[in-house]
């Protein structure tokens, strides 16, 4: 799966509508009820550093009429610039500088994105808390019933349900 | 459960009534220092708990926060109250009102039960809710990166809660009590059944011994019926009759055996009496008695006469005594001038001496007479004694013969009576009857032997039935023992099952807590990445160690303590990640609201933006966010990014302050959902 596909999937999972850019296959647009923007995947860190501001401006220009109408939402514009390429230290700093640049849009500029987790982490500013679900599933895995190996299932049901201690004793004694 | 409205009057920095509506999405409260942003957080905590934990320490003068809960400004507050309205997912509301004089809750609701899921952790309180739901500026690092590792572990451990299976544990405990009681009862039953078996075995052993003693029951029965004279009695009656008759027979034999020697002795005595030896001797003795009686009477007369003489002599003796005294006096004194010293008459010496001699002679005679009388009386007494003795001997011998004769007569009568009692035809004792007694005794012995024999035979026959009965009883009792033992075993198995289940429950409980603690790790990692406290340390390690005393370390870069590595702003960002992770890891907490009281102090714009985005991510998982900030631009950013939606709208509230009046709500902006899509090309 390409980096762009991974971004597509991650954002869709977070509830965003995704639009491809017919003119630029390495770019997709995304929007939900609160945020919008685009994501472009670059071949290299260099092309990212060179092209991000042009792409941003192009996007803003094209959508200017709608941005003017959108009032508050227009401020929630995210431009995401990603590459799988590994950055040098200087490039890393340059990417960081892009993110610290608050002009016009909120910018996410990341490199060295190899895995789905890397993509997810890059997109954290756009997506809901992820690991909440993992904790819930950890809890649900702890099924007491499965741990009472030597208990007959009716007795377990009574224990974990509405059975009284008397019911439980009877069910344990009834079992062969 | 979320917050819906808050009403404050006369509380902390708010004098006049102030109402705040919390849309279900978020509220951003902005304002300068002292405009009452924190008072709103305080009011929420106070409404829920009745106190403010952030001011737990007392002052030197003994004052504490309770002295400053209510408005202390120069212009008194007309009203003093805090009301907090909660709403659940179904739209049901609960209003908590606290005034200086106490607490009221609408519908008498249990607020703790509304906010703490007791089925997950029964111990959690509203204090726990507030401690982990209200993230205050001054406590961000204090409760996170600055905490000592054991305290940090304790904080997280308390926040995630103990896995409570209180209801299940209660049921197991109840079931164990029931089983224990039943085991005791069943063991007693088992012991009783065993005792019964032991008794039956003993009884059976005896019965079997009895059963081997005899046989031929039919013949024995017929014989016994004849012997006992019970032709129609049932077996039990017949046996009872035989058992009753045997001792009676023994008594009869004993009586007959005693009767024979007595009768023989009687006949011998009677044979002796028949020769009149006794009677002749009796007559002789009676004659002797009569003679001795006459002789004794004569002696007694003589004694009487002698006693009369003796009494007379005694009177004479008194006179003689006087005379003797005179004689002695006269002899000693002699004549006094020719006069008798006794009578004073004139007398010559010769006459005087003659008189004295005569007197002495007279005294001698009197004494001799007295001696003779005494001797005679003694002789009479001896004669009387001898006569009495002889009479007594003769009398005794005569009486003895009478007694013997009477005794023989009495014995005859008694033996006749005894013979009659024993049913002997001849009650007159004779040699013939003695022979009959002997025959009867022998016949009775033979009959007794038969009765005993046939009774034993029949007893042996019933012992067979008894053996069968006992064997049946024994088998049944052994079945009871086996069944009871089985029940005990089953109960003990159930007891073990319950015990193992309780152990498992404890283990699972501990594992759940450990899992919850472990589950925080990725969440903390995510939130740390989101908040990006430090560019060079993009990851944080969350490590729990220790067995008895447990530690929770937060480290970066393979073991560096970020407390000493990070700037205050970076520590706050890391602390926020930690506290948010903890807040999101409370399975027992039913409150979906998180409150951030000025979380961005000392945090630069870039990290503030990350915080805003992290809060937005919390909004995306359904949390209601209440956040106070000082900076209005940041407040505006929050209002835009916290994702107002159709169902969860937001509000931006500007707080203000006026001297004397205190804090008040300045401007309220509803943050409605963004209705217009921007990207319209496809």
Euclidean distance between CA atoms B400 and B393, whole angstroms: 10
Instruction: State the burial class of residue A41 (Cβ atoms within 10 Å of its Cβ: 0-12, 13-18, 19+).
Output: buried
pLDDT for residue A140: 45
Residue B206 has pLDDT above 90, yes or no: no
pLDDT at B212: 67
Q: Residue A141's pLDDT is what? A: 42
- Give the model's confidence band at B56: pLDDT under 50 very low, under 70 low, under 90 confident, else very high: low
- What's the rounded Cα separation, in Å, for the pair B65 and B51? 8
| A–B interface: beta-carbon pairs under 8 A | 164
Query: Crossing angle for the helix pair A165-174 and B431-531, nearest 10 degrees?
Result: 110
Query: To which H or E segment does residue B385 belong?
Result: helix B349-421
| Residue B117 scores a pLDDT above 50 | yes
Please, which pLDDT band fits residue B73 given cuts at 50, 70 and 90? confident
- Strand A36-42, strand A27-31: pairing: antiparallel
Nearest CB to B175; choose among A126, A134, A169: A169
What six digits make up the tokens of B563? 């407390």
Task: Give the residue-averaged pLDDT of B165-183.
Answer: 91
The contacts found for A40-43 with CB under 8 angstroms, 24 or more apart, are: A40/A79, A40/A80, A40/A81, A40/A82, A41/A2, A41/A3, A41/A4, A41/A7, A41/A82, A41/A83, A41/A84, A42/A81, A42/A82, A42/A83, A42/A85, A43/A83, A43/A85
Residue B682 — pLDDT band, cuts 50, 70, 90?
very low
Residue B662 and residue B77: Cα distance in Å, rounded?
Answer: 10
What are the φ/ψ torsions at residue B383 (nearest 5 degrees)? -60, -45
* C-beta atoms of B678 and A163 within 8 A: no
Among the partner residues B168, B511, B606, nearest to A159 by beta-carbon distance: B168
Would an 8 Å CB–CB cutoff place A47 in contact with chain B?
no
* Pairwise CA distance, residues B639 & B652, whole Å: 6
Mean pLDDT, residues B654-675 taken together: 92
pLDDT for the residue numbered A138:
45
**Chain A CB contacts of B609 below 8 Å:** 102, 106
- At residue B620, the pLDDT reads 95
B448: part of which helix (H) or strand (E)?
helix B431-531
How many angstroms separate the CA of residue A49 from the nearest CA in chain B? Answer: 19
pLDDT at position B681, please? 56
Q: What is the pLDDT of residues A97-152, one digit of tens each?
A: 999 998 889 999 999 999 999 999 999 999 999 988 555 544 444 567 788 888 99
Identify the H or E element spanning B15: none
Report the residue from B500, B504, B674 with minimal CB separation from A33: B674
CA B48 and chain centroid, separation: 47
Q: Which residues of chain B have a CB within 8 Å of the CB of A24?
A: none
A168 contacts in chain B (CB < 8 Å): 171-172, 175, 498
**Partner-chain residue, chosen from B508, B616, B640, that has the shortest CB–CB distance to A147:** B508
Place of tokens 């509803």: B670
Across the interface, of B173, B519, B616, the residue whose CB is closest to A134 is: B519
Mean pLDDT of B50-74: 79
| Partners of residue B166 in chain A, C-beta under 8 Å | none
Residue of B654, B595, B651, B636 whose CA lies nearest to B31: B654
Residue B554 in tokens:
């937060």
Residue B179 has pLDDT above 70, yes or no: yes
Convert the pLDDT of each residue in B234-286 to its tens digit.
777 888 888 899 999 999 999 999 989 988 888 888 887 765 677 777 788 78
Flag if B621 and A128 touch (Cβ within 8 Å).
yes
Q: Which residues of A touch B645 (CB under 8 A)?
A: 33-34
| pLDDT attached to residue A17 | 94
Q: Which of A30, A127, A159 sits opposite B617 (nearest CB)?
A: A127
Could you say which of B585, B679, B682 has the minimum Cβ distance to residue A135?
B585
pLDDT at B307 (0 to 100): 81
Label residue B89 by pLDDT band (50, 70, 90). very high
Task: Find residues 154-173 of chain A whose CB sits inside 8 Å of chain B.
Answer: 159-160, 163-166, 168-169, 172-173
Sheet with B662-671, edge to edge strand ranges? B134-136, B593-597, B624-629, B26-30, B650-658, B662-671
Look at strands B624-629 and B26-30 and give their pairing: parallel
Q: What is the CA radius of gyration of chain B?
A: 68
β-strand pairing of B93-99 with B102-105: antiparallel
Residue of A nearest to B179 (CA): A169
Instruction: Taking residues B155-169, report their average pLDDT.
Output: 80
Interface test with A, best of B119, B606, B674 (most A CBs within 10 A): B674
CB atoms < 10 A from the CB of B646, how many? 10
What part of A 85-114 touches B (C-beta under 8 Å)? 96, 99-100, 102, 106
- A144:B526 CB<8 A: no
| Closest listed residue to residue B574, CA positions, set B625, B529, B629 | B529
Q: Which residues pair with B542 in a beta bridge?
A: B554
Query: What end-to-end distance do the CA atoms of chain A give, in Å?
Result: 55
User: How do strand B593-597 and strand B624-629 relate by DSSP bridges?
Assistant: parallel
Structure-block tokens of residue B356: 């004295």
Contact A165 B617 (CB under 8 A): no
What residues form DSSP beta bridges with B561?
B555
Query: Are A79 and A106 contacting, i.e. CB atoms less than 8 angstroms apart?
Result: yes
| Percent share of chain B, pLDDT over 90 | 43
Q: What is the mean pLDDT of residues B677-682?
A: 72
Band (A80; pLDDT cuts 50, 70, 90): very high
Q: Which two tokens stand for residue B243?
A: 């058992």
């Amino acid at each position: 799966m390409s980096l762009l596909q991974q971004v597509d999937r991650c954002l869709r999972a977070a509830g965003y509508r995704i639009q491809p850019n017919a003119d630029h296959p390495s770019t997709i647009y995304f929007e939900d009820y609160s945020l919008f923007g685009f994501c472009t995947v670059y071949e290299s860190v260099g092309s990212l550093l060179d092209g991000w501001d042009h792409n941003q401006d192009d996007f803003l220009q094209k959508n200017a009429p709608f941005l003017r109408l959108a009032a508050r939402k227009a401020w929630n514009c995210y431009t995401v610039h990603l590459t799988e390429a590994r950055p040098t230290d200087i490039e890393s700093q340059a990417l960081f500088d892009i993110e610290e640049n608050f002009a016009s849009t909120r910018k996410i500029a990341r490199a060295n994105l190899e895995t789905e987790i890397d993509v997810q982490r890059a997109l954290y500013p756009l997506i809901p808390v992820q690991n909440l679900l993992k904790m819930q599933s950890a809890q649900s895995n702890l099924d007491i019933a499965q741990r009472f190996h030597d208990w007959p299932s009716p007795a377990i049901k009574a224990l974990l349900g509405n059975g009284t201690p008397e019911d439980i004793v009877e069910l344990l004694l009834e079992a062969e | 459960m979320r917050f819906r409205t808050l009403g404050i009057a006369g509380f902390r920095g708010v004098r006049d009534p102030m109402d705040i509506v919390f849309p279900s999405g978020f509220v951003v409260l902005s304002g300068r220092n002292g405009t009452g942003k924190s008072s709103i957080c305080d009011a929420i905590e106070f409404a829920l708990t009745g106190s403010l934990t952030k001011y737990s320490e007392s002052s030197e003068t003994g004052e504490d926060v309770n002295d400053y809960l209510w408005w202390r400004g120069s212009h008194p507050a007309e009203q003093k109250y805090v009301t907090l309205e909660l709403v659940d997912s179904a739209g049901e509301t609960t209003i908590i009102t606290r005034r200086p004089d106490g607490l009221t809750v609408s519908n008498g609701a249990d607020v703790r039960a509304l906010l703490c899921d007791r089925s997950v952790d029964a111990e959690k309180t509203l204090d726990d809710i507030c401690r982990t739901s209200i993230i205050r500026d001054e406590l961000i690092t204090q409760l996170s990166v600055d905490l000592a590792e054991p305290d940090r572990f304790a904080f997280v451990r308390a926040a995630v809660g103990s896995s409570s299976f209180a209801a299940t544990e209660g049921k197991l405990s109840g079931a164990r009590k029931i089983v224990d009681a039943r085991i005791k009862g069943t063991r007693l039953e088992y012991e009783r059944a065993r005792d019964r078996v032991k008794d039956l075995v003993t009884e059976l052993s005896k019965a079997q011994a009895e059963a081997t003693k005899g046989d031929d029951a039919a013949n024995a029965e017929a014989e016994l019926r004849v012997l006992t004279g019970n032709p129609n009695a049932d077996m039990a009656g017949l046996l009872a009759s035989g058992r009753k008759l045997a001792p009676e027979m023994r008594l009869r034999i004993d009586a007959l055996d005693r009767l024979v020697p007595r009768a023989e002795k009687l006949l011998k005595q009677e044979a002796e009496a028949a020769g009149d030896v006794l009677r002749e001797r009796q007559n002789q003795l009676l004659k002797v008695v009569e003679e001795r009686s006459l002789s004794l009477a004569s002696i007694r007369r003589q004694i009487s006469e002698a006693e009369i003489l003796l009494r007379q002599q005694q009177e004479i003796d008194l006179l003689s005594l006087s005379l003797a005294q005179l004689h002695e006096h006269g002899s000693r004194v002699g004549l006094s001038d020719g006069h008798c010293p006794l009578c004073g008459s004139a007398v010559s010496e010769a006459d005087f001496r003659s008189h004295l001699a005569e007197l002495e002679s007279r005294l001698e005679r009197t004494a001799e007479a007295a001696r003779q009388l005494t001797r005679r009386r003694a002789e009479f007494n001896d004669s009387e004694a001898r006569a009495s003795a002889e009479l007594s001997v003769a009398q005794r011998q005569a009486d003895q013969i009478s007694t013997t004769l009477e005794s023989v007569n009495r014995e005859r009568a008694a033996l006749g009576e005894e013979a009659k009692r024993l049913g002997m035809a001849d009650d007159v004792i004779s040699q013939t009857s003695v022979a009959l007694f002997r025959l009867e005794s022998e016949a009775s012995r033979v009959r007794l032997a038969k009765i005993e024999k046939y009774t034993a035979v029949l007893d042996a026959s019933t012992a067979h039935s008894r053996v069968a009965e006992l064997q049946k009883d024994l088998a049944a009792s052994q079945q009871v023992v086996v069944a009871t033992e089985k029940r005990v075993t089953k109960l003990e198995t159930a007891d073990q099952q319950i015990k193992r289940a309780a152990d498992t429950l404890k283990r699972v409980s501990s594992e759940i807590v450990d899992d919850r603690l472990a589950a925080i790790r990725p969440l903390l990692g995510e939130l740390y990445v989101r908040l990006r406290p430090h560019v060079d340390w993009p990851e944080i390690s969350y490590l729990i160690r220790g067995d008895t005393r447990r530690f929770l370390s937060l480290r970066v870069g393979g073991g560096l303590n970020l407390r000493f590595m990070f700037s205050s702003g970076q520590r706050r960002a890391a602390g926020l990640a930690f506290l948010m992770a903890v807040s999101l890891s409370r399975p027992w907490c039913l409150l979906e609201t998180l409150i951030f009281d000025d979380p961005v102090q000392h945090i630069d714009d870039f990290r503030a933006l990350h915080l805003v985005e992290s809060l937005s991510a919390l909004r995306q998982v359904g949390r209601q966010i209440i956040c106070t900030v000082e900076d209005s631009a940041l407040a505006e950013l929050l209002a835009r990014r916290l994702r107002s939606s159709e169902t969860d709208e937001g509000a931006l509230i500007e707080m203000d302050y006026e001297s004397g009046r205190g804090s008040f709500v300045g401007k309220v902006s509803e943050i409605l959902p963004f209705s217009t899509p921007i990207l319209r090309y496809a």
